[in-house]
Structure 1
Amino acid sequence: MLRSFGRSRLRLAGLTALAAALAAPAFAQAQPATTPPARIQQPGPGQAEAAAQGRPDEGVLRVCASAAQPPLSLKDGSGLENRIAGAVAEAMGRKVQFVWSDKPAIYLVRDFLDKKLCDVVAGLDTGDPRVLTTKPYYRSGYVFVTRAQDGLDLTSWSDPRLKQVGHVAVPFGSPSEVMLKNIGRYEEDMAYLYSLVNFRSPRNQYTQIDPARLVGEVASGKADVAVPFGPDVARFVKASSVPLRMTLVADDAARGDGQKVAMRFDQSMGVRRDDAALLAALDQALVKARPAIDAILKDEGVPTVPTGS
């Protein structure tokens, strides 16, 4: 799920620092300035007794989840990462139990996992330094979203047409924002991007453009191109009444100084750094759950490439 906001080492470093610095930020433009308190799913029969005795319930997989992270995580359990967590729990012979937070997913490790309110976070970049991460269960990346009727077959940030099109919509703090600046388009699009969050500054607070809004801007013609993280928008692209094209961005982006700007990322589950036993169990379950995970990704329309590529 970070990954959706967050999910490049550049992006993760910035968001992790922000999460540590802020206590109760608002979510995008739609949330109030003060984030509501977290909601924790109540334990079922037998789970309360296990907790009281200080021992984990081996029949339950407690998954940290944000209720404010569509389409990756939704309170009804229908989000992409919710579905994947459910498939993994089933492969482990456990029942999934979501421990819900009303805060954005960037706060799940600090406010939930580290406090032992839950035991697993799904959708982290592989190698996230805050946790132990499983072997990756899929790899995706940033995508160019355009209207099919426009015939913009973009595949790389090096395409000169990106300097000529109308508005380019990108998530704040993302590799796409870095590249928008690199090609000299950021100043031109800055006021437009800020308008998508009611001119609320992302500086020193968590502010992000709703992924559905990014897709809607392209579908309506207000933007010619959007460049979000694929898993964040695949469901919205698939559901659009206006035919859209979604193409993975080539992993060849670089800044003016030659430094690579990664566009594709392996996704893993994370556990506390002292929970190697659960990590091993999850890795085994991921192998067993592979067909189910692949079916979920296909159903969602998430573009993928082989892990590690």
Structure 2
Amino acid sequence: MRRLGRRPILLALAGVAACLVGRDFAQAQVSDSGELSIELVDPKVLRICADPRNLPFSNDKGEGFENKLGELFAEKLQKKLDYMYFPQATGFVRVTLGSHRCDVIMGFPQGDDLAQGTNPYYRTAYALVAKQGSGLEEVTTLEDERLKGKHIGIVAGTPPATNMAVNGLMGNAKPYPLMIDTRYDSSAAAMIGDLAKGEIDAGILWGPMAGYYAKKANPPLHVTPLVKETTGPKLVYRIGMGVRAADQNWKRQLNRLIQENQPAINKILLDFGVPLLDDNNQPITAETVSKSP
């Protein structure tokens, strides 16, 4: 599932040959509390694997929502916070988590076998982004006739591209690259820029990116999570955190943190415009933030 369009996102850290377990230098360590830590780089430090330039997720200035989640978890764990930064593209898991340079990937989709996932801490979907007053705000599915003939931006190789093809929308589509070096390019930013200039009529982005850039736009753009698709791949996903396959104690600890801090996690995500969904595909808003998804 790491072709969500994140980095352009998470649905695929496509083609990564992950070497996640059995590292020669994996040494057992004992924390001050006496708990055996088989895999952690340093039991006193929360070391996060992150992209140095990939907002809204993370950057090396600590401005992304995964940075904010890291700060929250470090405080709860009473650990120092540190990062191993590497562009999240081919080789990311191998170079970071798999090489024991860090201990957790803060955003990891359920179903991805490149690492072991924790329980999910949010649920979201690919979304249609359009200008207010464009006549596309009420569109909730790619089957909608109002999309026929429209120029729609799409990140090539992401799941909604298949849905667009099924519905005959690729003829006028404008593709944006999936595999990029996030230090220099952003397909999401380019797409939103083209939407603002009128070069495309709408865009389809992974939910966190859609919400973040739509919120930053002036005037703000309209975001519709695509939860009603009846053909093509599913466009709704659960996102947790990724750890090494052998690190069961660490996974259980993170699961407890997620459960105990879900309202605070939701607030951080909503502050960044992430379109959160509950299990019935209903939006989680600031008014319902105290409820777990």
When normalised by structure 2's length, the TM-score is: 0.79
Give the alignment of 1:58-69 within 5 angstroms: 58-69=43-54
The equivalent of 2:125 in structure 1 is: 141
Q: Say whether the 8 Å CA contact 2:41–2:100 is kept in structure 1.
A: no
The equivalent of 2:30 in structure 1 is: none
Residue 232 of structure 1: how far off its partner (Å): 1.6
Q: 2:225 aligns with which of 243, 248, 253?
A: 248
The equivalent of 1:160 in structure 2 is: 145
The C-alpha deviation readout for 1:43-87, integer Å capped at 9, x for no partner, is xxxxxxxxxxx9743221110011132221111011121112221
Answering whether residue 78 of structure 2 is matched by residue 93 of structure 1, we say yes
Q: Say whether the 8 Å CA contact 2:152–2:172 is kept in structure 1.
A: no
Answering whether residue 68 of structure 2 is matched by residue 83 of structure 1, we say yes
The equivalent of 1:239 in structure 2 is: 216
Structure 2: gaps (5+ residues): 19-38, 282-293
Answering whether residue 272 of structure 2 is matched by residue 300 of structure 1, we say yes
Query: CA 1:55–1:254 in 2, change beyond 3 Å: closer, same or farther?
Result: closer
Question: Which structure shows the bigger proportion of residues in strand conformation?
Answer: 2
CA distance in 1, matches of 2:187, 2:65: 16
The C-alpha deviation readout for 1:126-163, integer Å capped at 9, x for no partner, is 23212111110000111110000213111111111111
CA distance in 1, matches of 2:82, 2:40: 16
Residue 106 of structure 1: how far off its partner (Å): 5.2
- Opposite residue 277 of structure 1, the aligned amino acid is N
- Opposite residue 170 of structure 1, the aligned amino acid is I
Residue 111 of structure 1: how far off its partner (Å): 1.4
- Opposite residue 69 of structure 2, the aligned amino acid is I
Query: SS of the counterpart of 2:133?
Result: helix
The equivalent of 1:184 in structure 2 is: 168
- Opposite residue 164 of structure 1, the aligned amino acid is G
Q: Say whether the 8 Å CA contact 1:72–1:82 is kept in structure 2.
A: yes
The equivalent of 2:9 in structure 1 is: 6
CA distance in 2, matches of 1:104, 1:157: 29
Residue 274 of structure 1: how far off its partner (Å): 0.5
Equivalent residues, number: 254
Q: Say whether the 8 Å CA contact 1:171–1:209 is kept in structure 2.
A: no
- Opposite residue 286 of structure 1, the aligned amino acid is I
Give the alignment of 1:9-24 within 5 angstroms: 11-12=11-12, 15-17=13-15, 19-20=16-17
The equivalent of 1:30 in structure 2 is: none
Q: Say whether the 8 Å CA contact 1:91–1:289 is kept in structure 2.
A: no
When normalised by structure 1's length, the TM-score is: 0.75
Residue 124 of structure 1: how far off its partner (Å): 1.0
Residue 20 of structure 1: how far off its partner (Å): 3.8
The share of aligned pairs that are identical, in percent, is 29
- Opposite residue 210 of structure 1, the aligned amino acid is S
Structure 1 range deviating more: 124-133 or 207-216: 207-216
Q: Say whether the 8 Å CA contact 1:211–1:232 is kept in structure 2.
A: yes
Q: 1:74 aligns with which of 59, 62, 68?
A: 59
Structure 1: gaps (5+ residues): 22-53, 256-260
Higher relative contact order (CA 8 A, sep 6+): 1
- Opposite residue 210 of structure 2, the aligned amino acid is V
Q: Say whether the 8 Å CA contact 1:99–1:118 is kept in structure 2.
A: yes
Q: Which runs of 4+ in 1 moved over 4 A?
A: 205-209
The equivalent of 1:279 in structure 2 is: 251
Residue 285 of structure 1: how far off its partner (Å): 1.1
Query: SS of the counterpart of 1:90?
Result: helix
